[in-house]
Amino acid sequence: MQDPNEDTEWNDILRSKGILPPKKEKEITEDDIVNLVEQTIKEKQSKEEKNLEDCSLDELDLLEDEEDERVLLEYKNKRLAEIKAYMQKAKYGQVSEISGQDYVNEVNKAGEGVWVILHLYKTGIPLCSLLNLHLSELAHKFPTVKFLKSISTTCIPNFPDKNLPTIFVYYEGEMKKQFIGPQEFRREDITCEELEWMLGKAGAIKTEIDEDPRPKPKPRDILFTSLRNEVGGDNDWF
Strand ordering across the sheet containing 166-171? 95-97, 146-151, 115-121, 166-171, 174-180
| Cβ density class 9-42: b for 16+ within 10 Å, e for less | eebeeeeeeeeeeeeeeeeeeeeeeeeeeeeeee
Torsions phi, psi for 67 (to 5 deg):
-65, -40
pLDDT value at position 238? Answer: 29
The candidate with the shortest Cα–Cα distance to 150, out of 167, 136, 138, is: 167
Q: Is the pLDDT of residue 69 over 90?
A: no
Torsions phi, psi for 202 (to 5 deg):
-80, -10
Specify the range with the lowest mean pLDDT, choosing from 18-22, 39-43, 101-105. Answer: 39-43
Q: Is the pLDDT of residue 12 over 80?
A: no
Residues 140-197 pLDDT 10s:
999 999 999 999 999 999 999 999 999 999 999 999 999 999 999 988 999 999 999 9
Residues 118-141 pLDDT 10s:
999 999 999 999 999 999 999 999
Give the residue, 144 or 2, on which the prediction is more confident.
144
pLDDT value at position 218? Answer: 64
Residues forming beta bridges with residue 170, ordered by sequence position: 116, 175
pLDDT value at position 51? Answer: 61
